Every structure is written in structure tokens, then in C-alpha cells.
Amino acid sequence: MKLTLKIWRQKSPKDKGRFETYQVEASPHMSFLEMLDVLNEELISKKEEPVTFEHDCREGICGTCGLVINGQPHGPNKGTATCQLHMRFYKDGDIIVIEPYRASAFPALKDLAVDRSAFDRIIQAGGYISVSTGAPQDGNAIPIEKDQAAHAFDAAACIGCGACVAACPNASAMLFVSAKVSHLALLPQGKVEARRRAQAMVKQMDAEGFGMCSNITACEVECPKEISVTNIARLNREYLSASLGSEV
Amino acid sequence: MSFDSNTPPGPLAEKWSRYRGTMNLVAPNNKRRIEIIIVGTGLAGASAAATLGELGYKVKCFTFHDSPRRAHSIAAQGGINAAKNYANDGDSVYRLFYDTIKGGDYRSRESNVYRLAEVSRNIIDQAVAQGVPFARDYGGLLDNRSFGGVQVSRTFYARGQTGQQLLLGAYQALSRQIAEGNVEMYNRHEMLDLVLVDGKARGIIVRNLLTGELERHAAHCVVLGTGGYGNVFYLSTNAMNCNVTAAWRATRRGAYMANPCFTQIHPTCIPQSGDYQSKLTLMSESLRNDGRVWVPKKQEDAKAIREGKKTGNDIPEEERDYFLERRYPAFGNLVPRDVASRAAKVACDEGLGVAPTGLAVFLDFEAAFMRYGQSKAHSTGLHNPSSAQVRELGVKVIEEKYGNLFEMYEKINGEDPYKMPMKIYPAVHYTMGGLWVDYNLETNIPGLFAIGECNFSDHGANRLGASALMQGLADGYFVLPYTIGQFLSQDIRTPKFDPNAKEFLDTEKDTRERLEKMMNVKGNQSVESFHRRLGKIMWDYCGMSRNADGLKKARKMIQELREEFYKDVFIPGSMNDYNPELEKAQRVADFFELGELMVVDALDRNESCGGHFREEYQSEEGEALRNDEDYAYVSAWEYKGWDQDPVLHKEDLVFENIELKTRSYK
């Protein structure tokens, strides 16, 4: 199939950037990123600079890739990362617009790559359980109800790709933050520090310049791991009780 | 250079606890002054960085990713082994040790493997305390499943994302240390060389991948947790950026590379669909708990399937060959990976493959749907259910167990595995070989340590499923933080090293010249095209089966290809910029040299063992023929440069606790 690609090109963080148009011949068996590989091989054969995009595992788990495809982070398919999207969902003659995430907390680097280190700093602010390596109690010492463990897992499945931020008109990081807060607060091991954690992570999120949540829920729709917005409700509850709750 | 395994004396079961109780310590006030460089933030690197930070050392940690959480450990699906015996099925530390040695076809060091089995239990406790959401049963206790090559259930799992959850646990522990200032984190920095001062590892040269700038970093010692080299085959289940550069640069500086030809070909991957493909996807081994592997008995049926005239569902039961169950009745579909992969290759070589390329076998869940469905119907009191009802119930059970894997298959392949049997084929997955290390996980270069997949130490010639996560975390959480003290306790009076010293400047200059040389070729072929050609040579001649003639031919081909690379490669952009093509180029350049060494190693080893199958050495039934008389050793190679033959050093493997037997899964 013949496709027309309109791709965002930007030489450096300071460059203004612009769309460039390319033609590419793809097969329906290709993945979306393999289609871009083919384009890049062509550009290199013409001694031109290939399009910079970030990617690694190519099986939807590392969270490195993340393109905005025709306006949607990770493209049209539900619960699918960019690297898992296949060209059989496109047809001959399609025009595809490919852009980077756009959010002030994710500064542009080059072409389709952005800097998502704000997420790391949010985790550093409190997205962990304070246990050092050593000899904790036996793994089976604290039973955890099966469904409870499953809910914690659902929240923990976040891959930190940032699509939630890209999807949100306010560029809010609430889905990302709430997923970690929920994952840990739902487990007895993480309950101990739950209040402090929620406060510290929200404070860092605000400092990074992410926007406010206004319950649009586009984040949930575009999340490749289908993380639920009920986590945001849980975060709000944790945060509120931490802010209002008495220490004694 | 020292070349001693430094295995402590005493009975096997007491070696580690005695050694740990008597080894040298570094006092807290001295720890604060000692700097450690850790390269890599996968399970091994992140867990080591977090633990050493907690202990009070000054840690500098490097990754080429944009965040430590992206390391390829994240993609491990199936699970992590531990000798907990929660299932009460006769498991023990000894049995895990025994299974690992036997699974590795008797080519690993007893003392290291026993220690691994011992600390496996601590890992589960540690991970649970960190909030890793392992699967649980209705009583709220941890659930287990089985993996290949064993007859107990000792694998802990978090759906099909165990690696992700364990890595996030380690990443969070690391994040806590970064926040506390004990670990300084350098994202988007790739190690390009190792700096030696007076023969000891004291620093590294890294490239800032955003600016292209070279930086010199000094420390009292250097730890590599930089993973395996499966991408030498171009197509593998490794992430696109996995590479051997850090380990290879250490080899170039004198570290021995051990057993490089021992690579693991994983039997259950999604088959290749076209030439443009750059990456293969694994389907977890856990699927072989419930899936049955088969091909049609008749070539004409296989042909009809390949041509799309029939599907797997059209082949009646009596016309199917469940070849693993037939050949290996004791372990059936759960034979180890090397055995399963070779059997699939044999079936496809006989013209029984079921994909258009001829390279695929079926992995079928029909029997499991019905078995689970019946059990579910029984437990819910459903009397005389129709077979459609039973199947539907069974599908739900399988969905709960492997839902995300089935989804992943459908996304890539486009076929619904709940309706059609999966098609799978072996692919390169893991490398058992790696930097040679002693019992302390120290290489033959003093002060250079290697942990996780990056070292050679625990898996012999074949790794058992769910043991990579175990080893990475064992090394990082529970072994290295102790053993590193043996080296550092000698260095408590050593002041900080100066990154402006001559050794650092010289090594930086080497690195710059190497990169300039590549940039200046300005030829006509892309890096990718060279990598693809190298991968094909490796796969054809040093892949699932090898022979002396092919290996000799491959060595020559690699040499010629490398020459062509330095004459005709084209790298766009500049050295002083964010340039992924340059990153790829220097990685591929190192793969050429490693690839040749793998071929040399495979040629040296005139036997078949584990993942190393030499066609000349097989039984009449086509099983691997090991030669313990002549080859019960670790091949530790000293690299002498491109134009000279590498020098082989042998570490004889001594088996005091296990009797060497023919490895049989029949």
C-alpha cells in the first residue's frame, strides 16, 4: 500500500519545527514502527537524516515509544502501544499525520522524541515503599485477598509512556500518578506510607508543570494499558484524607 | 591477571554462609567515601545500585535509556523461580540447584549455582515487601506455576508481566536512593570504554546521547549489568537497543569473555512474517504448561496449511504428531528450551512446518480449554453441559491465566488464538555466555564486576525458564553487595580518582578516534543493512545447529563483512548531536568482533551441550552428545585484537556434589 506521511521534523529543542511530507510503500504485515524503519532506510539511502523516534522493546511493555498518530497518542486502536499497531489497520492511499507528544512538562528533543524525565522525578518524590534490601518477613506472612492483589496489579501495569499526558487537553499527569498511588495503597505493605506518598507525588507533579485534572477521561481512552480513571478517584481520596486527616 | 574461581572451601551447602560471615567489610564511615560506577539499570543493575546506595556507598548509575525503568528486564513475561516449596511438591534448595545444573547440561560452576538457589527465597520476600503484585490464590497466598525442565511448581508470577513488576520494584528502590542523594543517575549516557589505572578498573568513558559529548567518570570500581548480546543475530526477542558494547569494550581491555557460543534459542516465539522485520516477539514459556505442540503427520497436510487451503482445525486428531509428547514422555511439552527448539527445527526441516515460510509449528490450547472447562462446570454444579458450554468455560480460565499473551499474539499475528491454534517458531532469546567472573562476580580485571545476563556464571549451556529474573536479582540484591566489599576493603585509604588523569584522557581519545573513523567512512550502505547481514550469517552457521565447515565459512564471511563495513558504511548526521544511527553503528561494529569470537568458541567445543548443538556430535536419535572427558570446562577467551587469534583459558569444572549424567527428559 502507498501511504502519505506528514511527520513533525524538529532539529533540536530550540528549532521551531515543521511538518514534512513523505511517501512510503508499506505492507499490511508490517508494524507501524517497521513502516517508519522502511522510511528511514530510504532517507538514509538518499543521504538524508532519518526521522528520530524513540522505541525499544517493540512489544508494548517498555513504554519508550509513543507517537501521536492522526491526533491520537499511540494511534487508533484501544489498549495498544504504537509499537503494537499494525499496518493492516490502514489502507492504500491513507494520509497519516505523525507528531510528538505536546506538553510543556515533556520538552521537545528532536523530531518525534520528547523528554519524559518528569515522570522519574515524580516516582523519586515518593512512588515506592521504603524498604531496604535485607530480610523482610516471609512472602506469605501477609495474605492479600486475590481481588485486591488483582486491582493493585491493574494499576501497576502502567508503562510510564506518557500517553495520558499527551491525550489530556490540560496535559495533566493524574492518571500516571494515580496509578502508582493506587498500586501501592491497595497493598498492605504500601498502606503504611500511603498518605505521605500521595502528598509528595502530587506536589512534585505540580512542580513539573503538568496541568490540572478536569475529569475529561481522555487519558483512560488512550492508555495502552487501559489504566482506569477510578485510580484518579482513589488518588483524590488519598490526597484529601492526607490533607485533612489528623495525625492522632 | 588472576584466573581463579575463588570458590570458598567447605561443604557446598555451607560455603556461602561461612564465606559471608568471614569476608572483609567496609565500615560505614569509609563507605561514604567510596565511589561505585554501575552501568545498566535492568534487574541486576537497578537492584545493585539501590542496595549499594542503601549501604551508604556513593553510587553513580548509567543507562542509555531515557529512564532506568525502560531496561529490557521489563519485557520478561513468565516468572521467577524460588525454592520456597510453598506448593509442598518436594522442592528444596538442593533440587533447584540440581535442576539448574542439569538444565545447563553440566557446564556451570556448582558453588555459584548453589548460592543462587539459596538466595532465591530471599528475592520473593524482598519483592513482596516492595509491593510487587504477584499472583495469589483465593486464600490470599502466593501462587505458583511450572516451567520447562522441572517437575515441581516453583515459579512465582505476576500475570504475563513478571519482569515488568520486578523491575518496577527495583526501579522504585533505586528512585528512593536517587531522592536521598546516595545514587547519582545518568540517563541517556552510553558506556563506550573502560578505564584502567594500574591494571584495575577505575572508570568509564560515556557518550551523552543527547549532546554527543564524551564524558570521563571515575570511581573505585566498576560494575557492569548491561545484559546479553542476543542482538548479534539481528533478529531476536531482545529489545532493539540491547547491545554488547559495554561488555565488549571491557573484553577489549582484557576481561575474559566466557562461553560466548552458548546462546539460548527460545522455542515459542511468533514466527517471522517478512524481510523488513527487525524484532521477534516471545510467547511466554508458561504457555507450555497448557499448550500442546504439534505438526501434521503428513507433508501434504502441512503443505495445504502453508498454502492457506486448510487450517490447523481441519487436521483430525489422529493425523497430528504431538512430537514433544511422543519423543519426551516424562517431561512432554515442558522439556527445556534447547530440546524443544531443536525438535521444532527437526519437524520443519522434514517439511512439516505450518507457516507460509515453512518455519512454524502449532501450539494448541484446545485440550486445555476442555479440561479446565470440565473442571469449572463440575465446581459450579453445572450438570451435563454441552461441549460448547464446557469450551466457553475453559476459554475463560485460560483468559484469566494468559489473557495478555493471547491478546499480544492477536495484535501481531491478526489471528484469534482462542479459535485457531497459535503458530510459533524458535528465536534467539538469551545468552548464557558473558564476561567471566569468579565467585565474587569479579572479572579477571580487578575492580570490574559483572552481574546478571552480562556474566556467564549460572546457566551453563542452557538456561531454564524463569531463572534469568532470579539470577539478575540474586546478583544485585544479595550477592554483589557483599562480595564487592572483598575488593573495596583494600581500597579504604585510596583517595578519589581524578577523571583528568592521563589514563582517562587517553581512553577518551581512543573512543573519539573510533567514532570519528566510523563517521568518516561516508560510504553508501546503512548500518541496519550490515547488521541484518551479520545476523543472517550468525543464524545460518552459529544458530540452532552448527558444524565445523559452516563455522569456518562463517568466520571468513564475518571478517569480510567487517572490512566492507569500515569501507562503505554511511552514518548520517553528526557526532556532536543526538544521533541514533551513530549509536547503532558503534554497537554493530562491536557485534562483528563478538560474532567472530562466538564462531571461534563454537568451533573449539567439539561436543554438543545445551544450546550448543554440533551436528557432528549427536546420538542416533538426534540427541546432543556431550563430551565430559574433554570439554567439562569454561572457555574464557582473551581477546587479542581483530587481526590475531584469541587465546583460550580453561577453567575446569569440578563436580563434587553432582554425578555427571546424560541429560535425559525422556
Integer-rounded Cα radius of gyration of chain A: 20
Considering only CB atoms, B570 lies closest to which of A27, A44, A84, namely A44
- Kindly state the cell numbers that stand for B374: 470440565
Considering only CB atoms, B133 lies closest to which of A61, A64, A153, namely A153
User: What is the distance between the alpha carbons of residues B663 and B122, in angstroms, rounded to a whole number?
Assistant: 29
pLDDT of B237 higher than 60: yes
DSSP code string of B184-217: EEETTEEEEEEEEETTEEEEEEEEETTT--EEEE
Q: Please give the backbone phi and psi of residue B635, each rounded to the nearest 5 degrees, phi first.
A: -85, 110
All structural domains of chain B: 268-427 (3.90.700.10), 505-626 (1.20.58.100)
pLDDT of B149 higher than 80: yes
Q: Residue B454's pLDDT band (boundaries 50, 70, 90)?
A: very high
pLDDT of A247 higher than 80: no
| Residues of B belonging to the active site | 337
Considering only CB atoms, A41 lies closest to which of B128, B412, B526, namely B526
Q: Does A59 touch chain B (CB under 8 A)?
A: yes
pLDDT of residue B666: 87
pLDDT of residue B402: 86
Considering only CB atoms, A49 lies closest to which of B65, B159, B573, namely B573
pLDDT of residue B54: 98
Of all residues in chain A, the percent with pLDDT exceeding 70 is: 98
* Pick among A38, A56, A85, A158 to test the B interface (most B CBs inside 10 A): A56
Q: Under a CB-based contact definition with an 8 Å cutoff, are residues A124 and B172 in contact?
A: no
Q: Is B573 close to A62, i.e. CB distance below 8 A?
A: no
Q: Is A38 close to B276, i.e. CB distance below 8 A?
A: yes
Q: Does B277 touch chain A (CB under 8 A)?
A: yes
Kindly state the DSSP code that residue B131 receives in the 8-state scheme.
T
Q: Is B136 close to A149, i.e. CB distance below 8 A?
A: yes
pLDDT of residue A157: 97
Q: Where are the domains of chain A?
A: 2-99, 116-130+141-244
pLDDT of residue A3: 98
User: What is the distance between the alpha carbons of residues B234 and B532, in angstroms, rounded to a whole number?
Assistant: 6
Q: Rounded mean pLDDT of B252-268? A: 97
User: What's the CATH number of domain A116-130+141-244, 1.10.10.10, 1.10.1060.10, 2.40.50.100, 3.40.50.720?
Assistant: 1.10.1060.10
User: What is the distance between the alpha carbons of residues B565 and B517, in angstroms, rounded to a whole number?
Assistant: 11
User: What is the distance between the alpha carbons of residues B398 and B400, in angstroms, rounded to a whole number?
Assistant: 5
Q: Please give the residue that has the higher pLDDT: either B96 or B77.
A: B96
pLDDT tens digit sequence for A116-172: 999 999 999 999 999 999 989 999 999 999 999 999 999 999 999 999 999 999 999
User: What is the distance between the alpha carbons of residues B79 and B382, in angstroms, rounded to a whole number?
Assistant: 34
Interface of A with B in 4-23 (CB under 8 A): 12
Which residue type sits at B196? L
Q: Does A189 touch chain B (CB under 8 A)?
A: yes
Q: Residue B286's pLDDT band (boundaries 50, 70, 90)?
A: confident
Q: Under a CB-based contact definition with an 8 Å cutoff, are residues A151 and A181 in contact?
A: no
Beta sheet of B647-652, edge-to-edge order: B434-435, B257-258, B633-638, B647-652
User: What is the distance between the alpha carbons of residues B610 and B607, in angstroms, rounded to a whole number?
Assistant: 10
Chain A residues touching B479 at Cβ < 8 A:
none
DSSP H helices in B56-109? 93-103
Q: Is B240 close to A62, i.e. CB distance below 8 A?
A: no
Q: Rounded mean pLDDT of B66-80? A: 96
Q: Is B528 close to A37, i.e. CB distance below 8 A?
A: yes
Q: Is B125 close to A183, i.e. CB distance below 8 A?
A: no
Which residue type sits at A139? G
pLDDT tens digit sequence for A18-51: 999 999 999 999 999 999 999 999 999 999 999 9
Q: Does B415 touch chain A (CB under 8 A)?
A: no
H/E segment holding residue B224: strand B221-224
pLDDT of B257 higher than 80: yes
DSSP H helices in chain A? 32-45, 117-126, 146-156, 163-167, 174-185, 188-191, 194-207, 218-222, 230-244
Q: Residue A246's pLDDT band (boundaries 50, 70, 90)?
A: low
User: What is the distance between the alpha carbons of residues B35 and B488, in angstroms, rounded to a whole number?
Assistant: 10
User: What is the distance between the alpha carbons of residues B115 and B93, in angstroms, rounded to a whole number?
Assistant: 9
- What does the longest C-alpha to C-alpha distance in chain B come to? 83
User: ∠A81-A85-A86 over CA atoms, to 5°?
Assistant: 165
Chain A residues touching B241 at Cβ < 8 A:
56
pLDDT tens digit sequence for B308-329: 999 999 999 999 999 999 999 9
Query: For all residues of chain B together, what is the average pLDDT?
Result: 96
pLDDT of residue B30: 95
DSSP code string of B405-449: HHHHHHHHH-S-TTTS-EEEEEEEEEES-EE---TTSB-SSTTEE
pTM beyond 0.80: yes
Q: Is A146 close to B137, i.e. CB distance below 8 A?
A: yes
User: What is the distance between the alpha carbons of residues B93 and B101, in angstroms, rounded to a whole number?
Assistant: 12
Q: Does A147 touch chain B (CB under 8 A)?
A: no
User: What is the distance between the alpha carbons of residues A61 and A57, in angstroms, rounded to a whole number?
Assistant: 7
* Pick among B130, B189, B477 to test the A interface (most A CBs inside 10 A): B130
User: What is the distance between the alpha carbons of residues A156 and B72, in angstroms, rounded to a whole number?
Assistant: 17
Ranking A198-207, B77-86, B400-409, B631-640 by mean pLDDT, the lowest is B400-409
Considering only CB atoms, A56 lies closest to which of B70, B125, B172, namely B70
Q: In chain A, whose CA is at the least distance from the CA of B180?
A: A124
User: Scanning the structure block, which residue is given the C-alpha cell 577518551?
Assistant: B508
CA distances from B281 to B104, B470, B502 (A): 24, 22, 46
Chain B residues touching A39 at Cβ < 8 A:
none
pLDDT of residue B629: 96
Q: Does B179 touch chain A (CB under 8 A)?
A: yes
Q: Under a CB-based contact definition with an 8 Å cutoff, are residues A224 and A76 in contact?
A: no
Q: Rounded mean pLDDT of B620-648? A: 95
pLDDT of residue B581: 98
Q: Rounded mean pLDDT of B256-267? A: 97
CATH number belonging to domain A2-99: 3.10.20.30
Q: Is A47 close to B47, i.e. CB distance below 8 A?
A: no
CA of B377 to nearest chain A CA: how many angstroms apart? 21
Q: Under a CB-based contact definition with an 8 Å cutoff, are residues B665 and B331 in contact?
A: yes
User: What is the distance between the alpha carbons of residues B410 and A50, in angstroms, rounded to a whole number?
Assistant: 30
- Kindly state the cell numbers that stand for B641: 585484537
pLDDT of A248 higher than 80: no
Q: Under a CB-based contact definition with an 8 Å cutoff, are residues B117 and B83 in contact?
A: yes
pLDDT of B2 higher than 80: no
Question: Shortest CA distance to B42 belongs to which of B177, B166, B182, B203?
Answer: B166
Helices A117-126, A174-185: axis angle to 10 degrees equals 30
Q: Does A66 touch chain B (CB under 8 A)?
A: no
Burial (CB count within 10 angstroms: exposed 0-12, middle 13-18, buried 19+), residue B500:
exposed
User: What is the distance between the alpha carbons of residues B358 and B276, in angstroms, rounded to a whole number?
Assistant: 18
